[in-house]
């Protein structure tokens, strides 16, 4: 690696932290194209702890290598060219389960093929939670390619290296390192900006974060404009979660769930906001402190001028992520279903919280 290489800092960081490795002859080969298997392994290694990755595939220790070659295709993924025993299988399994990658129509993953920038942009955007959902098909128009919104999210995060000039060009090992390096400290309060490094005039429809205001419950926040409109329920719910009281109201937010627990129209989402009277703040804090079994407090913080508290709460077979915001009129509780095992939802909840602002209406004096 020459010292004046434009991405030497990124490569140095990723090799020192063990996220990427060189070759046996102690070379890095920065201009070599990265394969789909390599890209998935390195991305997953940066996003998930090793125990999560290795546990994605069961123990096949009693199976011979010959049997593994013939029989042990990961059944859940149905990738015909990803048997259990290969070095990249746990990483591809993890990325697939978390919605970061998918395969081809013929049931293959094609691990040895190169990754172009369009594919890399999608995997990075989904993996780092730059977008909360796999974006919908944008239509058949020639200028409505599926990948441009993902590139927009990367551009907003300033994560596109200057050497990348086209969507269909293969990504090199050094460019991969630079993109990961730029995203390593991705700030959850980073708001997308109106700038694009790749042909913004061709982006149709534009994907961006837009404001949502709920005057009835006194708050605003930002969310991707590709999400369906939030659904407000004026009568709250009790679902077994702390503080173990019925909420005053609930606002469901985010993509529609594939499964739903209600009859009739499905309004449930992967995320939702519950509202409680602000006078319950002390009781909520007391209940959190008293719970020794199902709750783990993660951090204290602020959103704007509002104090926040984030925790994980075990609910059945899930571990939800929940952030309490102690406002003037309400205690706002942001909930993310099963976020402990879903990095995408985890990131999105944090980003929603960071964009949250309470609407305060001054008293009128006559």
- Asked whether 81 and 107 are in contact (CB, 8 A), the reply is no
**Range with top average pLDDT, 8-12, 14-18, 326-330:** 326-330
Taking 80 as the threshold, does the pLDDT of residue 183 lie above it?
yes
**Poorest-confidence range of 94-108, 146-160, 187-201, 211-225?**
187-201
Last residue of a domain, one of 140, 172, 202: 202
* pLDDT of 189: 37
Q: How far apart are CA 201 and CA 204, in angstroms?
A: 8
168 shares its domain with 256: no
173 shares its domain with 221: no
Confidence class of residue 346 from pLDDT cuts 50, 70 and 90?
confident
Taking 90 as the threshold, does the pLDDT of residue 316 lie above it?
no
* pLDDT of 191: 34
**Poorest-confidence range of 100-109, 110-119, 253-262?**
253-262
* pLDDT of 148: 80
pLDDT digits (tens, 9 = 90+) for 28-70: 888 889 999 999 999 998 888 888 888 887 654 444 444 444 3
Q: Which two tokens stand for residue 21?
A: 């490795």
Taking 90 as the threshold, does the pLDDT of residue 286 lie above it?
yes
The residue range of the domain holding 165 is 8-202
The CATH number for 346's domain is 3.40.1000
48 shares its domain with 183: yes
**CA 227 centroid distance within chain:** 15
163 shares its domain with 19: yes
139 shares its domain with 261: no
* pLDDT of 225: 75
Last residue of a domain, one of 202, 232, 260: 202
191 shares its domain with 300: no
**pTM listed for this prediction:** 0.51
309 inside domain: yes
* pLDDT of 152: 84
Are β-strands 306-315 and 295-303 bridged in parallel, bridged antiparallel, or unpaired?
Answer: antiparallel
| Cα 180 to Cα 158, 166, 167, 343, 356, distances in angstroms | 11, 18, 18, 16, 27
* pLDDT of 283: 95
pLDDT digits (tens, 9 = 90+) for 72-108: 444 455 677 888 788 999 999 888 887 788 777 677 8
Last residue of a domain, one of 171, 202, 233: 202
Count up the domains in the chain and report the number. Answer: 2
Please, what is the average pLDDT of the chain?
A: 79
* pLDDT of 129: 79
Q: Average pLDDT of 5-27?
A: 85
> Which region holds residue 230: left if phi is over 0, alpha if psi is between -120 and 50, else beta?
beta
């Amino acid at each position: 690696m020459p010292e004046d290489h434009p991405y030497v800092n990124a490569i140095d960081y990723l090799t020192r932290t063990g996220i990427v490795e060189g070759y046996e002859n102690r070379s890095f080969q920065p201009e070599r194209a990265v394969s789909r298997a390599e890209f998935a392994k390195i991305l997953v290694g940066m996003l998930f702890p090793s125990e999560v990755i290795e546990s994605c595939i069961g123990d096949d220790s009693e199976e011979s290598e010959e049997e593994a070659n013939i029989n042990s295709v990961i059944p859940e993924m149905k990738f015909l060219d990803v048997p259990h025993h290969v070095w990249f299988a746990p990483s591809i399994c993890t990325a697939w389960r978390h919605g970061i990658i998918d395969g081809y129509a013929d049931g293959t993953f094609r691990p040895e093929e190169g990754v172009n920038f369009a594919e890399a942009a999608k995997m990075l955007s989904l993996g780092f939670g730059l977008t909360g959902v796999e974006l919908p098909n944008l239509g058949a128009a020639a200028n409505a390619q599926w990948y441009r919104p993902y590139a927009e999210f990367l551009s907003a995060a300033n994560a596109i290296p200057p050497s990348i000039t086209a969507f269909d060009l293969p990504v090199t090992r050094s460019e991969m390192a630079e993109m990961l390096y730029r995203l390593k400290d991705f700030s959850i309060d980073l708001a997308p900006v109106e700038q694009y490094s790749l042909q913004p005039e061709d982006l149709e429809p534009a994907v961006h974060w837009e404001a949502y205001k709920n005057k009835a419950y006194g708050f605003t926040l930002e969310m991707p404009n590709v999400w369906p409109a939030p659904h407000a329920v004026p009568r709250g719910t009790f679902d077994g979660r702390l503080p173990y009281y019925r909420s005053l109201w609930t606002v469901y937010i985010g993509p529609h769930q594939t499964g739903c627990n209600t009859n009739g129209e499905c309004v449930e989402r992967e995320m939702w906001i519950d509202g409680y009277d602000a006078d319950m703040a002390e009781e909520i804090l007391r209940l959190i402190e008293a719970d020794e079994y199902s709750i783990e407090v993660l951090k204290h913080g602020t959103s704007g001028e509002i104090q926040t508290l984030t925790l994980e709460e075990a609910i059945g077979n899930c571990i939800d992520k929940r952030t309490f915001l102690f406002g003037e009129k309400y205690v706002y509780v942001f909930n993310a279903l099963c976020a402990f095992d879903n990095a995408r939802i985890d990131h999105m909840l944090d980003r929603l919280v960071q964009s949250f602002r309470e609407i305060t209406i001054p008293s009128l004096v006559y």
